[in-house]
C-alpha cells in the first residue's frame, strides 16, 4: 500500500520535501496550497517596487510537478486538522492522510495594533506586493495632482517599519526609485517634501547580521537620503499619522509593515503543541509534539532540540529547504526500516542588498561588502528560483534594469469584470 503524504503549503519547505520524494513509488503525495503557484519571498520587494514582474519569481505547481507521477495538487486553504480521523478539512474539501506535513509558513504580526493591521501595507505575499505597487503608483499620481501643501507631506512620505533585511532592501530600492525615476517622470512633485523613513525598535539595522553589515547598511541608506530612526517602535496609525513610541508622529499615507511574523494558525492540533510566535513545537525529526503522523517544517515549526539553536532556528529559506529534505529522507528511512536522522541546520550565511552595486554578505567565518557582495547576492538569489527559464529571464531582466535604471512595468492594474459602465 502506498503511503499518502499530505503536504499543506508549497513554500520552500513543502516543495523541497516533495521534490525529494517525487517518482518514489512507495508514496502518493498531495500538495495543498491556497495559491496555485510557488513563489520566492526574498525577491518580493522587487515586485512591490515595480522592478520585476510577479511571474519572474512565481511558478505554477501543476507545471512544477507535471512530470511527477505520484504528485497531485489540490487548491485549497487548510481549515482544520482532525488527528483522530487522520483527515484535514480545507475550504474546498476533505482529504485523508497517512502522514500530514504542515508547511504553511507565517503571516505578518501586527502585535495587536488594530489600526496598524487595518491600514498598514504588509509585504509577505504576491498579492500584497502587487497591492503595495498599485498603492505607491497611485499615491505618486495623487501627489503630482495635489496643490494642497498641507497634504503634500502626507502623500509623499513613506514609512517602513522594520529594519531587517526586507526593510533595508526595500528602503534602498525606494530611495533609488526616487532618485532615478520620480525626479524624471513626476516633475510636478516637489521632491524636497518627500521623506523616506526606516524605523526599528532595536539599536541597529540588520540586527542578526555582522557589525560590518549593520554599519554598511546604515551608512549607505543615509547617503541615499533615508531617515533612519532606531530604538523606536510604531505604536499606532491614526488619521494618516504614524505614532511612535517616543511620542513623535509622522504624516503618511504609506506605512509599509515588515516588522515581524507569526506562525499561520492551525486548528485541531493540541494547544500544548503551539509554542512561541505561534510556531508548532516539533521534535528533532520535525514531528509535532503530542501527535502521531503529523509533522511541521519550515517557518511554521519551532525545534528546540538542536544544541546550537536552543531558542529555535531562524526563520530563513535555508532552514525550510533543509528541513523539507531531511523529513523526506526520514520518510524513506521509515519505509526502509532504518534509523531516522535528526535535523541539523547547516548555516550557509546570510546577505542583504542595500543599493545598486552594494550588498553585504555574512558567511559563517567571514563578512564582506560592496560590488562582489552584490554580485554574490544576485547569483545566490537566482540559483533557488524554480525553473531554468525563470532563472534566465530574471538574469536578463536584471542586466537590462540595472543598466537602464528604469523598468517599464509601472502599470496600475486592478483586474475587474467589465460591467458595461
Ligand X SMILES: Cc1cc2nc3c(=O)[nH]c(=O)nc-3n(C[C@H](O)[C@H](O)[C@H](O)COP(=O)(O)OP(=O)(O)OC[C@H]3O[C@@H](n4cnc5c(N)ncnc54)[C@H](O)[C@@H]3O)c2cc1C
CA-based nearest residue to 237, from 93, 122, 147, 408: 122
Does position 322 interact with ligand X (CB under 6 A)? The reply is: no
Q: What is the dihedral of CA 270, 275, 279, 281, to 10 degrees?
A: -70
Does position 164 interact with ligand X (CB under 6 A)? The reply is: no
Does position 33 interact with ligand X (CB under 6 A)? The reply is: yes
Write the interaction track for ligand X spanning residues 236-265; mark x where CB under 6 A is met and - where it is not.
----------------------------x-
Q: Distance between CA atoms of 140 and 146, rounded to whole angstroms?
A: 10
Select from 123, 136, 269, 360 the one that contacts ligand X (CB under 6 A). Answer: 123
Q: Distance between CA atoms of 71 and 175, rounded to whole angstroms?
A: 44
> What is the CB neighbour count within 10 angstroms for residue 272?
9
Nearest-approach distance from CB 246 to ligand X, in angstroms: 27
CA 284 and chain centroid, separation: 25
Q: Are 148 and 327 in contact (CB under 8 A)?
A: no
Does position 320 interact with ligand X (CB under 6 A)? The reply is: yes
Select from 9, 163, 167, 240 the one that contacts ligand X (CB under 6 A). Answer: 9
Q: Which grid coordinates belong to 244?
A: 511612535
Select from 21, 31, 44, 120 the one that contacts ligand X (CB under 6 A). Answer: 44
Nearest-approach distance from CB 421 to ligand X, in angstroms: 34
Does position 167 interact with ligand X (CB under 6 A)? The reply is: no
Does position 328 interact with ligand X (CB under 6 A)? The reply is: no
Nearest-approach distance from CB 46 to ligand X, in angstroms: 10
Query: What part of residues 180-209 is at the interface with ligand X (CB under 6 A)?
Result: none
- For ligand X, which stretch binds (CB under 6 A), given 41-49, 93-101, 223-231, 391-399? 41-49
Question: Closer CB to ligand X, residue 95 or residue 143?
Answer: 95
Place of cell 531554468: 388
Q: Distance between CA atoms of 353 and 165, rounded to whole angstroms?
A: 8
Question: Closer CB to ligand X, residue 11 or residue 178?
Answer: 11
Q: Distance between CA atoms of 64 and 12, rounded to whole angstroms?
A: 13
Nearest-approach distance from CB 33 to ligand X, in angstroms: 4
Does position 315 interact with ligand X (CB under 6 A)? The reply is: yes
Contacts of 265 (CB under 8 A, 6+ apart): 278
Q: Distance between CA atoms of 69 and 27, rounded to whole angstroms?
A: 10
Does position 95 interact with ligand X (CB under 6 A)? The reply is: no
Nearest-approach distance from CB 44 to ligand X, in angstroms: 5
CA-based nearest residue to 163, from 206, 213, 132, 118: 206
Nearest-approach distance from CB 255 to ligand X, in angstroms: 16
Nearest-approach distance from CB 35 to ligand X, in angstroms: 5
- For ligand X, which stretch binds (CB under 6 A), given 9-17, 173-181, 183-191, 304-312? 9-17
> What is the CB neighbour count within 10 angstroms for residue 4?
17
**137-145 long-range Cβ contacts below 8 angstroms, 24+ apart:** 137/50, 137/410, 137/411, 137/412, 138/412, 139/253, 139/254, 140/182, 140/186, 140/189, 141/412, 143/186, 143/188, 143/189, 144/186, 144/188, 144/189, 145/188
Does position 316 interact with ligand X (CB under 6 A)? The reply is: yes
Query: What part of residues 343-402 is at the interface with ligand X (CB under 6 A)?
Result: none
Does position 32 interact with ligand X (CB under 6 A)? The reply is: yes
Strand 99-102 and strand 93-96: pairing?
unpaired
Question: Closer CB to ligand X, residue 32 or residue 155?
Answer: 32
Query: What part of residues 204-243 is at the interface with ligand X (CB under 6 A)?
Result: none
Write the interaction track for ligand X spanning residues 59-78; mark x where CB under 6 A is met and - where it is not.
------------------xx
Does position 299 interact with ligand X (CB under 6 A)? The reply is: yes
Q: Distance between CA atoms of 191 and 188, rounded to whole angstroms?
A: 9
Count of residues touching ligand X (by CB under 6 A): 32
Does position 34 interact with ligand X (CB under 6 A)? The reply is: yes
- For ligand X, which stretch binds (CB under 6 A), given 4-12, 187-195, 302-310, 390-398? 4-12
| Sign of the dihedral through C-alpha 281, 283, 287, 291 | negative
Question: Closer CB to ligand X, residue 220 or residue 315?
Answer: 315
> What is the CB neighbour count within 10 angstroms for residue 142?
13
Residue with the shortest CB distance to ligand X: 11
Site for ligand X, rule CB under 6 A: 8-14, 32-35, 41-42, 44, 77-78, 103-105, 123-124, 165-166, 264, 298-300, 315-318, 320
Amino acid at each position: 500500500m502506498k503511503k499518502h503524504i499530505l503536504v499543506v503549503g508549497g513554500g520552500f519547505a513543502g516543495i523541497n520535501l516533495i521534490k525529494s520524494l517525487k517518482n518514489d513509488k512507495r508514496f502518493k503525495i498531495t500538495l495543498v496550497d491556497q495559491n496555485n503557484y510557488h513563489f520566492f519571498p526574498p525577491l518580493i520587494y522587487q515586485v512591490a517596487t515595480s522592478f520585476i514582474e510577479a511571474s519572474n519569481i512565481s511558478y505554477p505547481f501543476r507545471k512544477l510537478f507535471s512530470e511527477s507521477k505520484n504528485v497531485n495538487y489540490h487548491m485549497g486553504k487548510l481549515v482544520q486538522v482532525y488527528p483522530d480521523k487522520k483527515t484535514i478539512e480545507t475550504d474546498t474539501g476533505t482529504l485523508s492522510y497517512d502522514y500530514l506535513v504542515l508547511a504553511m509558513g507565517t503571516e505578518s504580526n501586527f502585535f495587536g495594533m488594530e489600526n496598524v493591521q487595518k491600514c498598514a501595507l504588509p509585504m509577505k505575499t504576491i498579492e500584497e506586493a502587487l497591492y503595495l505597487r498599485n498603492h505607491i503608483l497611485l499615491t505618486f499620481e495623487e501627489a503630482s495632482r495635489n496643490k494642497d501643501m498641507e497634504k503634500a507631506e502626507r502623500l509623499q512620505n513613506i514609512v517602513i517599519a522594520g529594519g531587517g533585511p526586507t526593510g533595508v532592501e526595500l528602503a534602498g530600492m525606494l530611495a533609488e526609485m526616487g532618485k532615478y525615476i520620480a525626479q524624471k517622470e513626476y516633475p510636478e512633485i516637489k521632491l524636497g517634501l518627500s521623506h523616506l523613513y526606516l524605523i526599528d525598535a532595536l539599536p541597529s539595522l540588520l540586527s542578526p547580521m555582522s557589525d560590518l553589515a549593520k554599519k554598511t547598511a546604515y551608512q549607505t541608506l543615509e547617503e541615499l537620503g533615508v531617515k533612519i530612526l532606531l530604538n523606536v517602535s510604531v505604536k499606532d496609525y491614526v488619521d494618516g499619522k504614524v505614532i511612535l513610541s517616543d511620542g513623535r508622529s509622522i504624516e503618511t499615507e504609506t506605512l509599509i509593515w515588515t516588522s515581524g511574523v507569526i506562525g499561520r494558525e492551525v486548528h485541531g492540533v493540541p494547544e500544548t503543541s503551539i509554542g512561541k510566535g505561534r510556531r508548532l513545537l516539533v521534535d528533532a525529526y520535525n514531528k509535532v509534539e503530542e501527535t502521531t503522523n503529523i509533522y511541521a517544517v519550515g517557518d511554521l515549526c519551532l525545534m528546540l532540540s538542536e544544541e546550537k539553536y536552543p531558542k529555535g532556528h531562524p526563520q530563513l529559506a535555508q532552514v525550510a529547504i533543509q528541513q523539507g529534505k531531511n523529513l523526506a529522507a526520514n520518510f524513506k528511512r521509515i519505509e526502509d526500516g532504518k534509523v531516522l536522522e535528526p535535523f541539523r541546520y547547516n548555516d550557509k550565511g546570510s546577505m542583504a542588498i542595500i543599493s545598486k552595486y552594494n550588498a553585504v554578505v555574512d558567511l559563517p567565518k567571514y563578512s564582506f561588502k560592496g560590488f562582489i557582495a552584490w554580485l554574490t547576492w544576485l547569483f545566490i538569489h537566482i540559483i533557488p528560483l524554480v525553473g531554468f527559464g525563470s532563472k534566465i529571464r530574471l538574469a536578463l531582466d536584471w542586466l537590462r534594469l540595472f543598466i537602464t535604471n528604469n523598468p517599464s512595468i509601472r502599470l496600475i492594474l486592478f483586474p475587474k469584470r467589465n460591467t458595461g459602465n
